[in-house]
Amino acid sequence: MQKLILLSLERAPALDVLSRGTLPAWVEAITEGRVFDEQRDSPRFKAAFRTLQGRCRNWPSPRDLLDAMPPLPGEPRHRRLTSDESRACGMRAIAEINAMLGLDRDDDEQDHDAAP
């Protein structure tokens, strides 16, 4: 984060606010609901900060840092679903929601088909 500060990015927090507010807020935002291992994740954090240093014109958010982190070793980036896979996944999700709401999907299709 020190190098981001040195870049004097637009919308950067004031130096006196960094240690009292910004850094604790970032730590909370980044670690909430996540588990990091210092040995495994330290290179990932460094790579993410290097990415931000080269990409950002404005002060980044914690989400920007998390998005810039490389995947865990051996973990592929999210694979893109094909159209058929995407449609099937969406249809399953709709069916689950309909089941939770007690709606019968066949009735909905009949109503939709009968509409002018």
pLDDT in tens, 1-45: 788 888 888 888 888 888 788 889 999 999 999 888 999 999 999
| Domain presence at residue 10 | yes
Cβ atoms of 104 and 112 closer than 8 Å: no
List 10's β-bridge partners, or say none.
58
Helix, strand, coil percentages (3-state) for the chain, rounded to 5, are: 65, 0, 35
Q: Are 55 and 87 part of one and the same domain?
A: no
| Domain presence at residue 39 | yes
Q: Are 18 and 47 part of one and the same domain?
A: yes
The domain tally of the chain equals: 2
58 — phi, psi (to 5°)?
A: -110, 160
**Residue range of the domain that includes 54:** 2-68
Q: How far apart are CA 11 and CA 26, in angstroms?
A: 15
| Domain presence at residue 36 | yes
Summary mean pLDDT of the chain: 82
pLDDT of residue 7: 85
Q: What is the pTM of this model?
A: 0.59
Using the predicted structure, report yes or no on whether residue 82 has a pLDDT greater than 80: no
Q: Are 12 and 59 part of one and the same domain?
A: yes
Please list, in sequence order, all residues whose beta carbon lies within 8 angstroms of the beta carbon of residue 68, skipping any fewer than 6 positions away. Answer: 47, 48, 49, 51, 52, 55
